[in-house]
A and B are shown apart, each in its own frame.
Chain A
Amino acid sequence: MSQSDTIIIETKNLGKAFGEVQALRGVDLQVPRNSIFGFLGPNGAGKTTTMKILLGLSRPTSGSGTIFGLDIQHESVAIRERIGYLPQQPRFIDYMTARENLEFAARFFFNGPQSRIRARCDEMLELVGLTDKANRPIRGFSGGEKQRLGIGLAQVNYPDLLILDEPASALDPLGRQSVMEIMERLRKHTTVFYSTHILDDVQRVSDTVAILNHGQMVASGPIEQILSGQDGVVYTIVLKDSPDDFATSLSELPWVAHTNFQTQNGLTTWHISVDDESAAESLLLRHILADRRITVTEFRRKKYELEEVFMQIVRGDFNDR
């Protein structure tokens, strides 16, 4: 299997400048096939710019990229034949109904037969739950309905890759849930590359994540890897009485990288970073319990929430350590 079979999107050193402003700096991106790839970053990080470059709507000022192994600058039409795109604020032909919009979008890809095109549009209306509103003018649609129709439009050509720019950002919790469910349903058919601010959603549906900040890729990888934190493995231990020499005793262990603690209501919470996961797993708790003066009330491996990791990365907390 060649790399273009397993990697759908690949960029190398992708850069974009708007005059003096450097919007993207050397972005290296790899989106695996059939992944739901969450592309995260604060406002102005360069997510939409990256997506527009991938779609051929904008040109990079440096670097290169491929989608399906095709060059994003020179083979853009061939790439777009296999892509579905949902812009941040989906727009439609407002004098057409939902079904007419879908048929219009489908005709960029298929000439016929008309019955198959209609059937495909019906499938899309059903997928996004708009069958009962198929013949209603777009003008009367709510934000959520428009967003769902946008996903249907992006999916009408059986794309190998869906690029969704903030697909749920303008929606209420129910609308968001509905969009996430649609994305999960699409997972088995296509690769989904989407940007968002809503980290709970990413943690729920994404399997791979990249974080962009100030136009630079600051983290990328499977979501489990990102959630494990960039500090490596951290154990959290809560002690009732913490002897004065506890820190020294920990520092004698060769696989303990560093420690810190905080005391509250007579309990001391220790965070112990280790650089040998298996040694820590088998020896850390034994070492602590060997000291009879200590009462352990809690012992767990620290699990990060994506929001926590995101904030640390974006604020540069990890870089400061």
Chain B
Amino acid sequence: MTANLNFQPAKEWNSLRGFANLFRKESRAWWGTRRWWVNALLWTGIMGGITGLMLFIMPSMAEASGDPSVEAAGGPLAFGFQLGRSIFFDLGTLVMAIGVVVLCMDMIVEEKHSGLTEWLLSKPIARRSYVLAKICATLLAVLVLVVALPALAAYAMLGLRIGAPYPPIPFLSGVGIMVIHTWFYLTLTIMLGTLFTSRPPILGIAFGMLFGGNLVATLFQPLIYIMPLSLSKVAVLVAEGQALPAGLLWSPLFFTALWSLIFILVAVKKFETTEF
């Protein structure tokens, strides 16, 4: 029609047609609603709260009850510091994974059910843009709200506890491992959203892997080298500055990143062939 001559037509790389607009929509869902501050408070509150509890409250309680591990750690301050750091990197890694599964489980399924996906795909967009925009916008939000803010809070509390800044390199390395672990569960959950049409199988598989993975690994040891099962423990050791055997550090990291890429490819492929 001639009436649209005054417009600049949308020009994008054909393979990623519509990505920019979809990314803006997904980002808006995070940052343009109350969702960002609710999640910021929630995850910082949960992880900061647990870490703070271990750093500041638990040592005095353990000392009062005569727990010998306080003495073994070198006093209440060292005990609390080790406990807080260990809890943040070990339990925190699992909490972040739970958080990301909960936040992403409905992301695709709900839009498929409501008909929003169908409407979006009636626009001139490449289907992969839909999946990639969700992954990119969610990753950004999760990195800030679920990982970075709680990590900042934990870093501040660790420094406060020892009266000096915690060495940044081991801390950031530990956080980096948490990021890769979180990224794995994010891509897994989004992939499952493209494969299934309801929530239970998504939750079952994602949480089954998170909580049951270590059980399976006791039966088949090599799994810990090719799955993210040991990463929460690895994050603790790396944050403590301990040297780890290369196989125990790099192999699960490499394979976790590889799995994440495979999940993205499967999600894109599946979504491109799904009929609505």
Contacts and interface: CB of A to CB of B under 8 A. Distances in A.
B7 A57 contact: no
**For the side of the interface on B, what is the size category?**
20 to 34
Interface residues of A, number: 40
Contacts of A109: 4, 7, 9-10, 123-124
Nearest to B121: A57
Given A91-B114, A95-B29, A108 B125 contact: yes
B122 A189 contact: no
Given A93-B116, A95-B29, A158-B3, A57 B10 contact: no
A95 B1 contact: no
A111 interface: yes
A112 interface: yes
A87 B115 contact: yes
B25 interface: yes
B4 to A, nearest CB: 4
A186 to B, nearest CB: 11
Interface residue SS majority, chain A: loop
Interface stretch (B11-19, B77-85, B199-207): B11-19
Given A105-B123, A111-B8, A157-B4, A57 B276 contact: yes
Contacts of B17: 77
A57 B118 CA distance: 7
B33 interface: yes
Contact of A104 (B6, B9, B21): B21
Contact of A58 (B4, B8, B275): B275
B187 to A, nearest CB: 24
Interface string B119-154: 101111110000000000000000000000000000
A107 interface: yes
B116 A190 contact: no
Contacts of B275: 52, 57-59
A254 B57 CA distance: 107
Contact of A87 (B119, B125, B126): B119
Contacts of A77: 14, 17, 124-126
A104 B8 contact: no
Interface string A164-204: 00000000000000000000000001100000000000000
Contacts of A107: 10, 21, 24
Interface of A: 52, 55-59, 77-78, 80-81, 83, 85, 87-93, 95-96, 104-105, 107-113, 116-117, 120, 157-160, 163, 189-190
